[in-house]
Amino acid sequence: MDLAFSKKIFSFFGIDTHKFLFGIFEKNAKYLLDKKMKTLLPDEQNFLLEDDERFHYGDCELNEIASQYVCRSFTIDRIKFIRKCMEENDNFSVADLGDSNGIFIRLMGKTGISVNISDQTVKCLKNKKLDVVKANIEFLPFKNNSIDLVLLFETLEHVPNPVLLLWEIERVSKKSLILSIPYVKETHINRYNYTDNRPLYQYHIFEFNTKDFKNVIKLTKFSVGKEKISTVLNPRVSIFHFIIFTLWDFFMEKDSFCSCFKQFYICQLVKN
């Protein structure tokens, strides 16, 4: 069964599928977000509340409030994970590859460089007074062993050669890499240019499950340190949500709801 057929069934019973599903999406994401906000330090809470999630991605506007909740929820999990991995050292450098809004460099208060290939995103980052480099992250304009900490959030799945990217990060990194990828049960490889209405760099190519991802890491000089599963949509919030999410998994997509991943894998890779 595909989405179009499902919509026809709902329409027959007078149900607006978009309104129905996004209503669940919004309530579920907001419930988790509210719980996570309470775990942040006061200055972190204020910082996030002042940031406009509509512009979470520098080159497109995020209008769905449910998606904004998910982005903020995931940002919180990454902030807390970075805090766990950070060393007590004020003088280390950071490069955020695929950075879209500068949130992590701004929050950390470190010397940082944002890297993105999108002209519009680069412009947005510069407007936030960040040091920005426009570059293909598979060929970084940095010297060997020049960056203490590299961030790579929701970017590995967009590149055509993940191993090449990890080798390039290995070259420029002094110590460690913190990254996130969608958490999926089965590795999925998307066909090239599966829609034609957006730039190629926005497409997902390789979506690795954790087992396959760790096999990829074996091809590098990195080893897995700390790791965490970030949950941004939880079917167990209520029995009703559990039923809807289960039906969605069965008929539509296993790992996402309304085209948003329910979980993400975050890990620290330490350079050997």
Handedness of CA 24, 30, 33, 34 (dihedral sign): negative
**One digit per residue, pLDDT tens: the chain, 272 residues?**
455 666 666 665 566 777 888 999 999 999 999 999 999 989 889 989 988 898 888 778 888 999 999 999 999 999 999 999 986 666 788 999 999 999 999 988 777 999 999 999 999 999 989 999 999 999 999 999 999 999 999 999 999 999 999 999 999 999 999 999 999 999 999 876 656 666 667 788 999 999 999 999 999 999 999 999 999 999 999 999 999 999 888 888 889 998 899 999 999 999 98
Calculate the alpha carbon distances from 121 to 41, 58, 104, 239 in Å.
28, 4, 15, 40
CATH number for the domain spanning 184: value is: 3.40.50.150
The pLDDT value recorded for residue 1 is: 47
Residue span of the structural domain in which 93 resides: 3-271
Q: How many domains does the chain have?
A: 1
CA–CA separation, 102 and 104 (whole Å) = 6
Residues counted in the chain: 272
